[in-house]
Copies of this chain bind each other. A is one copy, B any other.
Amino acid sequence: MTRACLLTIGDELVDGRVEDSNSSWLAKRLTDLGIVVTAHLSQGDGLEEILSALDYAVSRADLILVTGGLGPTEDDRTREALARWAGRELVEDPGAWASIQKYFAMRGVTLADSNRRQALLPDGATLLPNRAGTAPGFRLCEEIDGGAEADDARTCEVFVMPGVPSEMRQMFEDGVLPRIQERGVELVQRSLAFGGVSEARLGQLFAEHLEEGGDLRVGMCAEFGLIRVTARAYGPGGEQRIDALFEELRQEGQAWYLGEGEAGLEEFIVRELERRGMTLTLAESCTAGLVASRLGQVPGLSHVLHRAYVTYANEVKHQVLGVPESLLEIEGAVSEACARAMALGVRRVAGADLAGAVTGIAGPEGGTEEKPVGLVYLAVASRDRIWCVERQYGHPGRQIVRNRAATDLLLLLWKALEGVGGESLDSSPAS
């Protein structure tokens, strides 16, 4: 098993001016190659800071990927830090200097003296050419003393790349990837999605599979209304071992199973509508188009959703959806009765097979004692059934209420499609 640590250098990362996109890109790339990433560390441009970050990294990795701090100016100290850390001199690399000169000549730009600094590499380092910019990268191999245990002696490989994402990615593919592939790890990774269940509950159900370590690792994370369970099998027979595991997980979590793969809840719904040749429509009040817009992420939505409505005002609910005025007066627009009438109404108006509706109080204003901020009613109507739920999200903020309401309506649509009655769902015949 190869362990890697990522080290991104730059004051602009540490103080939040620039978001560090290199770490997650590299982490994903390495993980997919079967490397175990153990830590990411972002550190400012100071020499001492880089040195202590390298010490931290080397204690938990056989592979260190460093990005940033290779620019031409005085405040770029990554070259110097690496040389000092490895106990070597900085020497000019002729190949590096030639390629910097060529790069400037090609673009017709005058070289600054400071650019020559960029051709300095720690003695014995291997140049990694930069096809997309001026700063060359390099590779160092360090023998790590195992201390008292001679068996712990090992080699740590350090790759140093520029911080500019496009240059870094190019250099990774050209110069880092081939070296890593030589290490030859066999890895299969697949995932299942579950919905309408809390992470805690599913975690309890799958507890025995979630234990750490081994050559079949299972992880779980919540994203936009679904719980994603990811399995990684190292070594031979990975597909078969994951097949067997997923068979168990699917059975144990059957009530909430959505499907295999990386699709989101929105895509599961659109694909299921397509598969059944069904159409969908929506009437949204407090979410104001968020449900439609999230479904709109899925290519081909236009084939299953021909129209949808944002109906904030009471007279629009009445005129467009046919919600009775008396219902709006007596029950109010934020009520189970109104959500049901909206779903039934929009289904009829749009001539769709399935309709979803949401009405509630996103806040921060507009709540009353009886109907507080965060109260939301969701309804789904099919040809012959209605599903309706009440939700009370409290005061986590307007955007969170809207996002949760949208997610819960998507989950309700999924349950309606599947015909599966969830624990907190109330389904009754359509009136």
- Chain A interface (Cβ within 8 Å of chain B)? 11-21, 23-31, 36-44, 46, 49, 52-53, 56, 59-60, 71-75, 103, 106-110, 112-115, 131-134, 164, 166-167, 170, 198-201, 203-204, 207, 210-212, 219-223, 230, 282, 284-293, 295-297, 299-302, 305-313, 315-316, 320, 362-365, 389-400, 402-403, 423-424
Contacts of A199 in B (CB 8 A): 71-73
Contact assessment for A39 and B41 in the assembled complex, using a CB-CB cutoff below 8 Å: yes
| Secondary structure type dominating chain A contacts | mixed
Which one, B26, B285, B398, contacts A297 given CB within 8 A? B398
Contact assessment for A166 and B200 in the assembled complex, using a CB-CB cutoff below 8 Å: no
Alpha-carbon gap, A25 to B212, bound state (A): 30
Identical subunits present:
2
Given contacts A14-B27, A131-B396, A284-B289, contact A316 B309 (CB under 8 A): no
A62, chain B: closest CB distance, angstroms: 16
Contact assessment for B49 and A43 in the assembled complex, using a CB-CB cutoff below 8 Å: no
Alpha-carbon gap, A43 to B335, bound state (A): 46
Alpha-carbon gap, A288 to B289, bound state (A): 8
Contacts of A167 in B (CB 8 A): 396
25 contacts between A and B (CB under 8 A): A11-B219, A13-B27, A16-B24, A16-B26, A17-B219, A17-B221, A18-B223, A38-B49, A39-B44, A49-B60, A52-B59, A71-B199, A73-B204, A73-B207, A103-B394, A106-B394, A108-B391, A170-B400, A284-B289, A292-B310, A297-B398, A299-B362, A305-B310, A308-B309, A309-B310
Contacts of A46 in B (CB 8 A): 212
A130, chain B: closest CB distance, angstroms: 9
Q: A131 — nearest CB in chain B belongs to which residue?
A: B396
A339, chain B: closest CB distance, angstroms: 15
Contact assessment for A39 and B49 in the assembled complex, using a CB-CB cutoff below 8 Å: yes
Given contacts A221-B12, A289-B293, A365-B300, contact A40 B37 (CB under 8 A): no
